[in-house]
A and B are shown apart, each in its own frame.
Chain A
Amino acid sequence: MGMLILLTFLTYPSGLTQITEPISTRLIKNLSLVFIPACVGVFFLGPAISLQIPLLILVVVLSTLLAIIFMAMLIKVIVVATND
């Protein structure tokens, strides 16, 4: 919600972009640091969940591949249709 509110304000010409840009650039550049505490948690998961990790990896690979193929083919169809 906060992201949408800021986006709405930024679409109107004001000095807000000049104020927010240096801060947001620095924050986005070091985004990985913010994710570290939660990411460390993966090494402390219980054995029941750890056993599921190979299956989760398979789910991620298959669904990511599927989404990329779907989007690439959809864009090809739309681009060809709009050119015709």
Chain B
Amino acid sequence: MIEFLVMQWHQITATSWLIILSVIGYCIGMSVYLRSSGKPLLHPLIIGTPFIAAVLALMSVDFDQYYNANGLLNWLLGPATVALAVPLSKYLKQMSKLLPILTITVLSGGFVAAVSAISLALWLTSEPIMMLSIAAKSVTTPIAMAITQQLGGLITLITPIVLFTGITGILVAPRVFHVVGLQDERWQGLILGVTAHAIGTLKAFEKSPRCGAFSTIGMGLNGIWTSVFLVPMIQVFMN
């Protein structure tokens, strides 16, 4: 326990002035995103990160130096994951009647999302590291990063993959809902939360608070479920 706390302390105290670059990149990305009225392709991460990478290249700062200098932000990933329990608890009671359907759809949906990504990655790339880096693509970033770290995948790859999954989800989901004839916004929200995590949830809240609530549940439950089954399943598969 003490060792863990010391590690956390070292991570935070490694923070240096380069963290300002992340804040500036985020502010630029956020201002573009808000001006575009929330267009998925102008997400703060898509706008902010190339700017930061360009500045780092101009200043000849290597990525490891920059990453360690952002110790405080990297440490905040843990509390950010835990914080997701708060909106989840708010809506959990209201949805108790629908719990059987919610459970079946989230468990099977989360499983299909992960297994299809693993199978396709193995088939198309034939690189185990790619499979390990893409397996957690359908869960929200803090949980996806923790799972990828446990699996031994590439942390730097999972963040943009999760982001791209969210953008893909909100672009294709309305078309699928139309073709399948799924009009109920509660279920639309749930699917957006399970398959497109935080980006899907933001989109669901734009539709209605009820749609957003179901999306939050889908995102939260899928995060918990995937973190439970994915690591042991892949470890068994790799052995």
Interface residue ranges, A against B (CB under 8 Å): 2-4, 6-7, 10-11, 17, 20-21, 23-25, 27-28, 30-45, 49, 52, 55-76, 78-79, 82
Query: How far, in angstroms, from A65 to B112 measured CA to CA in the complex?
Result: 11
**Known A41-B156, A73-B180: A17·B86 in contact at CB below 8 Å:** yes
The 8 nearest A-B residue pairs measured at CB: A41-B156, A43-B53, A10-B89, A24-B83, A67-B113, A24-B86, A37-B70, A63-B116
Shortest Cβ distance from residue A8 to the other chain B in the assembled complex, whole angstroms? 9
Query: How far, in angstroms, from A35 to B145 measured CA to CA in the complex?
Result: 9
A-B contact count (CB 8 A): 239
Pick from A35, A37, A68: contact of B191, CB below 8 A: A68
Whether A11 contacts B89 by the Cβ 8 Å rule is: yes
Interface residue ranges, B against A (CB under 8 Å): 22-23, 25-26, 29-30, 43-45, 48-50, 52-53, 56, 62-63, 66-67, 70, 73-74, 76-90, 92-93, 101, 104-105, 108-109, 112-113, 116-117, 120-121, 124-125, 127, 130, 134, 137-138, 141-142, 145, 154-161, 163-165, 168-169, 172-173, 176-177, 180-182, 184, 187, 190-191, 194-196, 198, 220, 223-224
User: Which residues from B are CB-within-8-Å of A41?
Assistant: 63, 67, 155-157, 159
Shortest Cβ distance from residue A16 to the other chain B in the assembled complex, whole angstroms? 9
Whether B73 contacts A4 by the Cβ 8 Å rule is: no
